[in-house]
Amino acid sequence: MIVVFGSVNVDFVTRVAALPAPGETVSGPSYAVMGGGKGANQAWAAALGGARTVFVGAVGRDPFADMALADLVAAGVDLSAVTRTDAPTGAAFITVDEAGENMIAVASGANLLADPASLLGLGLGPGDTLLLQGELSAAASASAAAHAKAAGARVVFNAAPVSGFDASCLSDIDILVVNASEALAVARLLGTPEADPDAAARAIDAAGTACVVTLGGEGVIGWWSGVRRKVEAFPISVVDTIGAGDAFCGGFTAALDRGYGFSGALLRGAAAGAAACTGPGARGGSPDRASVERLVGATAL
Ligand code: RIB
């Protein structure tokens, strides 16, 4: 079982020619409203990856809540531990440029009320994985990590954004997943500043937590017990990169859940991230198990 304790948002996505600079206004022709939130996106991708998945989080009592969760229902994610609160459902305001790059501002809303006590009835234990991100309160995620670790479950933390990551809980985390800038930031928090993400991941691994760095078009690096793995990026035609890191996390943990080792899971996470970039929005691509294995098989030939 994979339990995702994390955020759920409704995403407002606008395509523009170029991303705005500070103080600049840019215009796009229209906008789309879609389900999002790093936690919900990761739960969706884990379920499509074939894992029994439970999502734990908080939404409002507004119409955005059901819209944000609809894809998870369709993917078979267990939502019985999602709480409804009086705060508004989280929302993300996203601009995407012609190359598919994005900028995101999030209004957290109900996500800040997600309660780690909701994990208590789920029976997390050995063989299970708790998957966390940085969009809840850092204290809530740290408490969830401590609970899962004490229960013998595997803990995977995607420190995105780093502001939602409490470095003092690193000893409760088995695998940290970060992008390049997050890798540098976490290494700084640990008192081991490094100049490049690969060295930062190595330092984090040396501190006792395996570390994965997603590098977009440069692929993925993973450090585990002093050994480095590199997975090259899959050749795909990018629609946008929204949620690529989330699909990586979902596909990666789903592969671990199916019994793959670190290297096999890195490969499948990278394939899921690539598949997610081939459709619009955070849940627009198809990081399902069949698509992932097709990409992995095509690469192996
Ligand atoms: O990682 C992409 C996600 O970040 C979006 O779905 C948005 O909601 C923000 O949480």
Beta strands in 227-272 (DSSP E): 227-231
Per-residue pLDDT, 101: 86
| Residues 69-98: tens digit of each pLDDT | 999 999 999 999 999 999 999 999 999 999
Q: How many Å lie between the centroid of ligand 1 and the Cα of residue 242?
A: 7
Q: How far is the CA of 33 from the centre of ligand 1 (A)?
A: 12
pLDDT tens per residue, range 180-207: 999 999 999 999 999 999 999 999 999 9
pLDDT at 301: 53
This prediction's pTM? 0.96
* Interval 200-257: pLDDT, tens: 999 999 999 999 999 999 999 999 999 999 999 999 998 889 999 999 999 999 999 9
Q: Which residues contact 66 (CB under 8 A, 6 or more apart)?
A: none
| Res 69: pLDDT | 98
Distance in angstroms (rounded) separating the CA atoms of residues 125 and 3: 11
DSSP E strand boundaries for the chain? 2-5, 9-15, 32-36, 53-56, 58-59, 83-84, 90-96, 102-107, 129-133, 154-158, 175-179, 210-214, 220-224, 227-231
Contact 16, 28 (CB under 8 A): yes
Stretch 37-41: mean pLDDT: 98
Ligand 1 atom closest to the CA of 10, numbered from 1:
8
- What domains lie within the chain, and their CATH numbers? 2-17+30-300 (3.40.1190.20)
- From residue 189, alpha-carbon distances to 65, 122, 183, 214, 244 in Å are 35, 32, 10, 19, 25
Considering only CA atoms, which residue is closest to atom 2 of ligand 1? Answer: 243
Closest ligand 1 atom to Cα of 242: 2
Pocket test for ligand 1, best of 111, 242, 248, 283 (most atoms within 8 A of CB): 242
Compute, in angstroms, the gap from residue 219 CA to the centroid of ligand 1.
20
